[in-house]
Structure formats: C-alpha cells, structure tokens
Amino acid sequence: MRNRVEWRDARVAEVRQIAEDVRQISFAVDGAVPRFDPGSHSNFRVEIEGEAATRTYTVIPAPVGQIAVAVKLHPQSRGGSRYMWGLEAGDAVRLTLPENRFELSWRAEHYLLLAGGIGITPIYGMARALAARGASVRLVYGARSRGLMAFTEELQSLLGDRLILRDNAQGQHVDLEAEFAALPANAECYLCGPIGMLEAAKRAWAESGRPVSRLRYEVFGDSGLFAEKPFTVEVLNRGVTVPVRSDQSLLDALSAAGVEMISDCRRGECGLCAVRVLDRDGQLDHRDVFFSDEEKAEGQRMCACVSRLSEGHAVIDVGYRA
Ligand code: FES
C-alpha cells in the first residue's frame, strides 16, 4: 500500500441530489485539507454487508477544509455507492486526503474534455480549473438521458457553447472521430467514462495519428461487459476456494478469506493486484486500464481489484507478479 496515504476523520456536512442517480456529498474534515488538483481522488472506509471495505471516489471542488464527492447509485454496485447514499448530515466517516493520478498537464494549446455518465466528476473539476485560467477548452458530455447529467447548469454558464451535451435517449452520441479530427496538432484529450467509451476513444485516437501520450484517461471500475454475478476461484497452492459475491471485488473476497494480496490504486490502474488465471469456465470481464488490449485478449491475467469472471469458476495464481 502507499505510504503517503493519510487517513482522517470527517463528518458529513451536506448531501445534495444533483442528478437523478447522483448525490453530491460534502465532508468537513478534521485538520487542514491541503489544496488538491482536479482529477484527485480520496478513499473512503465503507461498510458492506457488515464488512469493512475501501472505495475510491473522485473529489470535486469544495470549500476550504472540506472534501466533496459526487456518487452515482449503481443498482449493481458492490455496495460502496449504496453505503455512500445512506450517509446523512453529521455522520462520521474515515477518508484519505486527496491524491492525484489523473493530472492536467497545463501545457496544451487546447483541451478536449470527454465525459461519459458519472465520468463527469474529474472532468467537471478540470473544466472549472481550465476555464479559470482562460485556457482553450471544449467539453463533450454524454449520458443515457438528460436527467442523469450532473453539474450541467454550472458548466453551461462556465463554458457556454464550448459545452456539448449528448443525450443518448435523444439518439445523440459522442462522435469521437469528428472531435479528434477537429483538434489542433498539440491538443490534449482527457476522458473519463465507461470502459467501452475508453476503448473506442483509444482506437479513434490511434487512427487519428496523434501521440498516445496526449490522450489521458481514467475509467470507473464498475463498468464491465457483463453484469456482476457471483463466481468462485480456487487459489493455486493455497488450498482454498473463495466465493466472490456479486457485490464484492475479487481482491476483497481474497483478502477476506485470508489470502495475502498486495494492492495500491484499487482502480485497475497500477497492476499491483494482478493474478494469473490458469483455468476458467466463465468469461473474463476486464475492467482495468493496466493491461493492453493484447494482454486482455490472451486472457491469462486480470486485475483483482476491478476485473472479474462473468460467472462460474476459475483457478488463479496469486503468487504471480510481472
Ligand atoms: S490495485 Fe491497482 S490495479 Fe488493482
């Protein structure tokens, strides 16, 4: 685990509904809260079916001394969003001070921000920061319906016609090829959305011939190809078979069963929690951004923090580390 992670006590200061399935929750934190950049996130201690777990949420701009997050209630969530939605003003929580792995470079001539669904959370902070500095920025925000979009009024007044809303229910979608084709040569794109949107963007970006380093992204780990179902894993050389609930990550299930694991980001980014898959009768639902498309297609490794089996049973080796 990261040594610099600093846990703090906090209390819920305010809960606000900001879209049909999104609540903004603000926390008054004990002690000083250092300034944090857009794209930062905090970990929260949550309780799921009586068990302690950790969930990570992007932090959004907040008053001094506070940390705020916007949480989508996911009907098939592993329990984290249900817990967060149950919080009320005055409730005590434990959280970490924000840290950032999705940073703005501040070097581009133009910024294209792309958000899909709850992926708006880091993008919202970036849009505010870029607009405050007078940067050239365009934000394209797609969601299944208008009512599911958060922060739209504020973004509208901030960006005017540089904000493009794409309402899927109205047949509107983000035209990645057109967006990339319209960019000046040294533009950068920052994307946060479901894994399908990210994969399409990576392909379109590569086809546009632009440098890979200028597409930066983050994906939310609950967006897979399959709905979450329970599955089991037999752990090589450990003599245990571990059931994984639909509302539980493989990493949490292994840890709860006493299988020693290492992890860091818990967002499918660092690869520390990777396990080797030796045999399986279900499909691998890769939800990480650590492994390449080729590695995912090989189907031999998966990030236990976010990726899972569609159902069925697998034999895994947790001793494996690249
Ligand atoms: S802990 Fe970082 S990828 Fe799983």
**Element (H or E) spanning 163, and its range?**
strand 163-167
- Domain annotation covers residue 312: yes
Single out the residue in 172, 190, 219 at which a domain terminates. Answer: 219
User: Are 214 and 117 within one domain?
Assistant: yes
Give the pLDDT confidence score for residue 222 in this predicted structure: 60
pLDDT above 80 (res 219): no
The 8 Å CB, 24+ separation contacts for 257-264 are: 259/235, 259/318, 260/318, 261/304, 261/318, 262/1, 263/1, 263/304, 263/305, 264/1, 264/2
Task: Report the nearest atom of ligand 1 relative to the CA of 262.
Answer: 1
Q: What is the pLDDT of residue 285?
A: 93
Total domains in the fold of the chain? 3
Query: Last residue of a domain, which of 99, 124, 154?
Result: 99
Residue 224 lies in a domain: no
The burial of 296, by beta-carbon neighbours within 10 Å (0-12 exposed, 13-18 middle, 19 or more buried), is given as middle
CATH number at residue 241: 3.10.20.30
Counting ligand 1 atoms within 8 A of each CB, the residue from 5, 43, 266 with the most, and so the one to mutate, is: 266
Mean pLDDT of 238-243: 94
Q: List, chain by chain if needed, residues with CB within 6 Å of any ligand 1 atom.
A: 263-266, 268-273, 288, 290, 303, 305
In a domain, 280, yes or no: yes
Residues 79, 249 contacting (CB under 8 angstroms): no
CATH number at 169 reads 3.40.50.80
Per-residue model confidence as pLDDT tens digits over 79-131:
788 899 999 999 999 999 999 878 999 999 999 999 999 999 999 999 999 99
Per-residue pLDDT at 224 exceeds 80: no
- Domain span including residue 238: 231-317
> 256-271, pLDDT tens digit by residue?
899 999 988 888 888 9
* Residue from 270, 275, 316 to probe ligand 1 pocket by mutation (most atoms less than 8 Å from CB): 270
The Cα–Cα gap between 188 and 46 comes to 35
Q: Which atom of ligand 1 is nearest to the CA of 288?
A: 3
Compute, in angstroms, the gap from residue 244 CA to the centroid of ligand 1: 17
Confidence at residue 95, expressed as pLDDT on a 0 to 100 scale: 97
One domain for residues 63 and 139:
no
- Pick the atom of ligand 1 nearest to 268's CA: 3
pLDDT for res 214: 95
Same domain, residue pair 184 and 242:
no
DSSP-based three-state secondary structure for 212? helix
Contact 261, 235 (CB under 8 A): no
Give the pair of three-digit tokens for residue 157: 């007044």
What are 140-163's pLDDT values in tens digits? 999 999 999 999 999 999 999 999
Domain end call among 219, 243, 263: 219
